[in-house]
Homo-oligomer: A and B are copies of this chain.
Amino acid sequence: MRFISEQRLDDAVVERDFTLGEIPGTLWTPESITPVPLILMAHNNGLSRREPRLAARARHAVAQGYAVASIDAAGCGERPRTAAEEQARAELRRAMRAGEPVDDIFESLVGPLVEKAAPDWRTALDALLALPGIGGAVGYSGWAAVGIRLAATEPRIAATVLFAGGYVPRAQREEARTVTVPLLLLLQWDDEGNPRQRALDLFDAFGTEEKTLHANVGGHTGTPWFETEDGYRFFDRHLK
């Protein structure tokens, strides 16, 4: 892990970009050196980890006593995309706009993306836990499909906040049954890109004994601000 930049931000947050082999990432930590629990903040595969609202959320989490790391996993953010991926993305957007069934396109694009992204997150986790200032249990927040894969296969993940979950590859819909860590699933009731009933079915499928669903009125990007705070309280219960 090689740190390539370091900034001290106004809110006593240290923001460091790093590379780890091919994987670019960012780590946000408090200025204090007392070890704090780590949250892996995974964005939707189409976005960059530099997206301002994601970065703002990371800084806010640091103020609540966490370290936050985000990477551009294989096929995400800054990482190169294959021509086949670009074509599948374009086709997915077109089919969604046209209101056509998208399952097969989605499966062929996102299924392999999860297979490639999860090992990158695991590599990052190994490196991050070796850093001073990070200690204790690890949480995961964000992209549902990768969160399911990690929660199902990575014993160091102790709690997970998943977003949306209407479209999740078949493999992760099956893996959800084997997830046993506490989880909070955030559902936007009118999410234009995530069928509600599938998200409810996914919630039902999780094998964990402590699972909570928070549903709010509104579309995909309309999650109310108070859910961010509810997320910290969830992590406080399980990581601190």
Contacts and interface: CB of A to CB of B under 8 A. Distances in A.
Interface of A: 189, 200, 203-204, 208-217, 224, 226, 229-230, 233, 237
A203 B217 CA distance: 10
Nearest to A204: B189
Nearest to A209: B217
8 contacts: A189-B204, A200-B200, A212-B216, A212-B224, A213-B214, A213-B216, A226-B233, A226-B237
A214 B212 contact: yes
Contacts of A211: 216-217
Contacts of A208: 217
Contacts of A215: 203, 212-213, 215
Q: Which of A208, A217, A226 has the most CB of B within 10 A?
A: A217
A235 to B, nearest CB: 12
Nearest to A233: B226
Contacts of A209: 217
A144 B213 CA distance: 19
Contacts of A224: 210, 212
A224 B226 CA distance: 19
Nearest to A234: B226
B217 A214 contact: no
Given A203-B215, A209-B217, A213-B213, 5 more contacts: A200-B200, A208-B217, A211-B216, A214-B214, A215-B215
Closest 8 CB pairs between A and B? A213-B215, A212-B216, A211-B217, A214-B214, A209-B217, A212-B214, A226-B237, A210-B217
Nearest to A218: B209
A2 B210 CA distance: 45
Nearest to A208: B217
